[in-house]
A = this chain, B = another copy of it.
Amino acid sequence: MKKTDRLIIYISGKDQKGIVASVSDYLYRRSFNITELDQFNDPFSESFFMRLEFSYENTVLDIEEFNISFSKEVTNKLNLNWEIKPSQNITPIIIMVSLADHCLNDLIYRIKSKELNAEVKAVISNHETLKQSVELHNIPFYYLPVTDLNRQQQEKELIEIYKKSKSELLVLARYMQVLSEETTKFFKGKAINIHHSFLPGFKGGKPYHQAYRRGVKMIGATAHYITSDLDEGPIIDQEVIKVNHSMNPEKLIFMGKYIESLVLTRAVRLHLDQRVFLNDARTVVFD
């Protein structure tokens, strides 16, 4: 295996005494140095979550061997879920869009400038409008239109593209179609959507028009993992912006674009950095 500087271990499971001791003792015995450690014990769900970065020098680390050894000596005994990953790993992702491109543009720019450790394997859309501008960036574009009749087939194609490209994350960057329950199950914890309202306010359609009618003084956007229950997925991040009486729905939509792309990019970064854990209907985010 290629030598990397840092690895991230990502652990969750039932809370119990001795997890930190067991993990840190293991790493110490192998002469690794813990450089960052976040942990959270949820007293309600009695769950434990830990994210840990460690470095090593003058060693060639055999990840296969580490996997076997760490499982045997630490996590199997404590019955914990875990994963390990190099901290600079490039994650293959798929982005879905409809017509609006502000979130897509921000993601592509952040990826190009290495602010996000990802590679866009494909952009999928139910419209052809953004084909040209996506292909300009040498990213494959798939036009998969949706009707009530072909929805099942369309989602099958999505999953095929996702699997074939070995993608590990699906980003719904203002994709305006609902995915079926089956598909959302397939993508559990692996698909992030941007909702153009400050959930749980203004669920449903035309949230900026709703916000205008209600006369709120702030509008917001919410990035969340998708679930079959629309607008109810576990929230990763939220952001708001002040608005006032003089702004009509069109102006709110315009201002909303800015926080939508901001909060979606931030949520994708948190996910790629392995800082987000699912905790039932909520998330644990080590920011």
Within 8 A of B (CB), among A259-287: 279, 281-285, 287
Within 8 A of B (CB), among A16-52: 17-18, 20-22, 24-25, 27-28, 31-37, 39-44
Contact, CB under 8 Å: A34 / B39: yes
- Using Cβ atoms and an 8 Å threshold, which residues of chain B touch A284? 245
Contact, CB under 8 Å: B217 / A237: yes
A216 within 8 A of B: yes
Q: A199-B201, A200-B202, A216-B199 are in contact. Are A37 and B35 (CB under 8 A)?
A: no
Contact, CB under 8 Å: A40 / B245: yes
- Using Cβ atoms and an 8 Å threshold, which residues of chain B touch A36? 39, 246
A192 within 8 A of B: no
A256 within 8 A of B: no
Q: A201-B201, A217-B235, A234-B215 are in contact. Are A245 and B21 (CB under 8 A)?
A: no
Q: How far is the CB of A198 from chain B (nearest CB, A)?
A: 7
Contact, CB under 8 Å: B245 / A285: yes
Contact, CB under 8 Å: A283 / B215: yes
Bound-complex Cα distance A281 to B213 (A): 8
**Which 9 interchain pairs have the tightest Cβ spacing?**
A215-B282, A21-B28, A21-B24, A201-B201, A20-B24, A245-B284, A18-B28, A217-B238, A21-B25
Please, could you name 30 A-B residue pairs with CB atoms under 8 Å apart, sorted by A? A17-B28, A17-B32, A17-B33, A20-B24, A20-B28, A21-B21, A21-B27, A24-B24, A34-B39, A36-B39, A40-B245, A40-B246, A101-B113, A109-B109, A115-B254, A198-B201, A199-B201, A201-B201, A214-B235, A214-B281, A215-B281, A215-B282, A216-B238, A217-B237, A217-B238, A218-B238, A218-B240, A245-B279, A245-B282, A245-B283
